[in-house]
Structure 1
């Protein structure tokens, strides 16, 4: 009989795509993930991965076992959801995932009021630029920049987040030419970056970062013009370059359908709707 923890580590490896990414997701080192995969192979007497110099590659047997692992994980989560459905107290852990900038500026600073209402809640905030899977229980509640497509999720549109061009007052007093601050290649296809490129019209990027907060800090330091949401620009005292030119992206709240009425989950989702929705344009 195989060890369930071995299977869980193997499933995380498949989902994350590498030993290091799986280790980060599980909160262990990559050697532990490798050891768990080896243990699962020994228990099942199957070769699940090809060990190459720089990476592990799934074998055909590994792909098939991964399918079974996904089914078993889904069943275990469903059991957990079923067991918690009849709870009546608001207590326990809730994992909230969102892009780091939104998680800090729109969520974290407002959580004091939630803890005052429900002192036995335990929150874990996961700032991730890629969407966390609620189906795999990487998070309980997610705020996303696009509508989630997983069929087991319930998603609601919170509103639209407005972006426009901002710079420091001192920078705006400077003469041309103006330069820009934008995302790096990892976010090259984001709506914000594509909109910014149209406005830059070939002018140089003085700084690129995949972290929106770094872009805002650089703009506040006089580096150049950045495409930012209004709430972040206000934090850093930035001024709009052109108030008549803006773009918006959708902000969605998602939760797994099996847990949406669990008291602790519902308390958090209701609070996020109450606190975040007024910050957005409907």
Structure 2
């Protein structure tokens, strides 16, 4: 059923194999064996991939029901595991948060060698119900709360700030009317436009498209423009400095999320405690109040346009 659903969702044996961590030939063999057992054709093979037949389409809902039941059974058993050993699958939003989590969890793994850490640093929402991850650090807008089937703890605010590369500050300084003063853009164009419009420099144009914070920071270092970044990424970065009007804005909060069925799992409970301690210790960094940046404008509370609760 897992192989069937993976192929139904991706339309490609290679993509399905990557999703399941097996070879594409394994996916093809398992699906062919399922078709032989059921004496029905579930997929039509085309040059550009696999397409569900009518029978395959009818089977999807039942297979998904089996998948949910098996996931619930697995979570129930895992939730009773009192051992401090086994896999701990953690997902977070970006590599900057991943560095903090790695430092926090390294001590746990050293103390308990039987724990095996898996860390995914990507903004995509892995499904906690299907145990694609055990623990997630995700962003929710202020005032939002996680879905009822998850346990959640608010960890730290996400505070945006305006930065420019120190080496290029003079020519890019919007206070001096410098040219080419410009904001660096990202792939979420609408959000960037709204943030710029509500900033201290709404008249400054947006230029370029940069897919990640890391790439955007490199573009800023290269003198291509100035940029809005979370303080947890921008303040520690050598060579970046805040603009004269940094526009500190509280746009979201980091939450620690896990499925309720896994509340009592010993190794996951220990991982959650380690992550909470690490994020709490860096509260000043997340608020934009880290040492060296105290003489700044007061923090404004503002919702990030388009932000919301994670899929669970």
TM-score w.r.t. length of structure 2? 0.75
* Matching residue within 180, 198, 201 for 1:177: 180
Residue by residue over 1:56-98, the C-alpha shift from the partner in whole angstroms, topping out at 9 and shown as x without a partner, is 3334432332222222222223333333333323111010011
1:98 aligns to 2:92 (yes or no): yes
> How large is the Cα RMSD of the aligned pairs?
2.9
Distance 1:21 1:254, change over 3 A: farther
* Matching residue within 54, 67, 72 for 1:73: 67
Mapped partners of 2:180, 2:227: distance in 1: 15
Matched residue of 2:254: which SS? strand
Aligned partner of 1:142 in structure 2 is 136
Q: Which has the larger radius of gyration?
A: 2
- After TM superposition, give the deviation of residue 141 of structure 1 in Å: 0.9
Segments of 5+ residues of structure 2 without an aligned counterpart are: 172-177, 288-300, 302-312
Matched residue of 1:239: which SS? strand
TM-score w.r.t. length of structure 1? 0.82
Instruction: Judge conservation of contact 1:180–1:203 (CA < 8 Å) in 2.
Output: yes
Matched residue of 1:161: which SS? strand
Distance 1:245 1:269, change over 3 A: closer
Deviates more, 1:147-156 or 1:42-51: 147-156
Mapped partners of 1:8, 1:188: distance in 2: 37
Mapped partners of 2:181, 2:241: distance in 1: 15
Instruction: Judge conservation of contact 1:103–1:125 (CA < 8 Å) in 2.
Output: no
* Matching residue within 251, 254, 279 for 2:254: 251
- After TM superposition, give the deviation of residue 267 of structure 1 in Å: 0.8
Distance 1:188 1:16, change over 3 A: farther
Matched residue of 1:228: which SS? strand
Mapped partners of 2:124, 2:145: distance in 1: 12
1:205 aligns to 2:199 (yes or no): no
- After TM superposition, give the deviation of residue 17 of structure 1 in Å: 6.4
* Matching residue within 147, 150, 153 for 2:150: 153
Matched residue of 2:48: which SS? coil
Distance 1:168 1:9, change over 3 A: same
Mapped partners of 1:67, 1:53: distance in 2: 26
Mapped partners of 2:35, 2:197: distance in 1: 49
